[in-house]
Amino acid sequence: MCAGNKGPPPPEKSRIEPSSTALLDDPLDFFFAEHFRQRELCNLLEEMARADRLDRRLAAEVIAFLRHDLVLHIQDEEEDLYPMMRRRCPPEDEIERVFTALTAEHAGGRVLAERMNTGLEAALREGRAGAAQSGLREAMLEFARSERRHLALENAVVLPLARRRLTPKDLEAMAVRMRARRAQEPAREGA
């Protein structure tokens, strides 16, 4: 049955698990948990790229994740985690080189996220499979591929180094800022 031009799908259990804000007591644990959720996103993007029908609920969930969760995560890293580590890591850690690459990947990810949002919104309007939208399938597959690489580098290099270099006070200050960032956000359905 063609989904047609209907309103938003009814709420149901999310395919991506909710953000574990209780973990913010230890922001590094929270970053690992968010990375796990981003891996779930990558799996779902590949599922959508292969599907010959549009899962409207999933499309809406993916749009919300890209617009909200991923934006907050990149702010957490670029405005809090990376600057804090720049202050604490000695030159021999050579972390600046890593942050330059990761920040460039964030920028590339933003471009792909915008392309995916535009394509998924069009797919929802027209009731067509995501794979049928020009460029959407490619954007979903490219994002999943590059995001997995990005997550692997952050999990294997950045977060373990942060654990060694950041002090309990640093982590506390970071947790305060990350909580404040979320408090400023309008409440989101299912969040």
Would you tell me which residues interact with Fe ion (CB under 5 A)?
77, 154
Number of Cα atoms under 13 Å in the Cβ half of residue 77: 24
C-beta closer to Fe ion: residue 55 or 154: 154
C-beta closer to Fe ion: residue 69 or 77: 77
C-beta closer to Fe ion: residue 142 or 154: 154
- Closest approach, Cβ 7 to Fe ion, in A, equals 33
C-beta closer to Fe ion: residue 14 or 155: 155
- Closest approach, Cβ 166 to Fe ion, in A, equals 16
- Closest approach, Cβ 28 to Fe ion, in A, equals 11
- Closest approach, Cβ 45 to Fe ion, in A, equals 16
CA distances from 150 to 15, 71, 147 (A): 22, 15, 5
- Closest approach, Cβ 126 to Fe ion, in A, equals 32
Query: What whole-number distance in Å separates Cα of residue 47 and Cα of residue 55?
Result: 10
C-beta closer to Fe ion: residue 49 or 102: 102
